[in-house]
Amino acid sequence: MEISRAGEARSNGESCTTWSALSSARTSSIRSKSPQAILALFGPQMTHREKLELAAIQEVWYFALRNRSRGPNNDGYDDHEHHYIPVQHEHLHYRYEVLKKIGYGGQGQVIRCLDHMRNTLVAVKILVSPLSSKRDKFQRMEIKMALALQGEGSDEDYNVVKVLKYFDFRGHHCIVLELLKESLHDVIKEAGLRQLHMGMVKTYTRGILKFLCHTKARSIIHADYQASEWTQHSARLCSGVVIIGDSDHRENRPRWSQGRCVRSVRLSGRRQGHVTSGDDPV
Q: What is the pLDDT of residues 20-39, one digit of tens each?
A: 988 765 545 678 999 999 99
Residue 266's nearest CA partner among 241, 233, 240, 244 is 240
pLDDT for position 24 = 60
Span 50-71, pLDDT tens digits: 999 999 999 999 999 865 667 9
Span 246-266, pLDDT tens digits: 333 434 444 333 333 333 333
State percent of the chain over pLDDT 90: 39
Please state, in angstroms and as integers, the Cα–Cα distance from residue 152 to each residue in 55, 102, 149, 155, 247, following that order: 35, 28, 10, 8, 22
pLDDT for position 247 = 34
pLDDT for position 263 = 32
Cα–Cα distance for residue pair 52/281, rounded to 1 Å: 31
Backbone angles phi, psi at 139, to 5 degrees: -70, -40
More confident of the two residues 186 and 273: 186
Which residues, 6+ apart, have CB-to-CB distance to 54 below 8 Å? 35, 38, 39, 46, 60, 94
Which of 224, 246, 248, 280 is labelled catalytic? 224
pLDDT for position 148 = 85
224 is catalytic: yes
Amino acid identity of 181?
K
Dihedral angle over CA of 42, 47, 52, 55, nearest 10: 0
Q: Is the overall model pTM greater than 0.85, yes or no?
A: no
Q: Is the pLDDT of residue 95 over 80?
A: yes
pLDDT for position 181 = 73
pLDDT for position 244 = 36
pLDDT for position 213 = 86
Q: Is the pLDDT of residue 86 over 60?
A: yes
Mean confidence (pLDDT) of the chain = 75
pLDDT for position 199 = 84
pLDDT for position 62 = 95
More confident of the two residues 116 and 247: 116
Q: Is the pLDDT of residue 79 over 60?
A: yes
Neighbours of 110 (CB within 10 A): 25
Please state, in angstroms and as integers, the Cα–Cα distance from residue 158 to each residue in 98, 108, 145, 151, 161, following that order: 30, 25, 15, 10, 9
Average pLDDT over residues 76-98: 94
State percent of the chain over pLDDT 70: 67
Q: Is the pLDDT of residue 204 over 70?
A: yes
When pLDDT is cut at 50, 70 and 90, the band that residue 103 belongs to is confident
The residues facing 64 across adjacent strands are 18
Q: Is the pLDDT of residue 195 over 90?
A: no
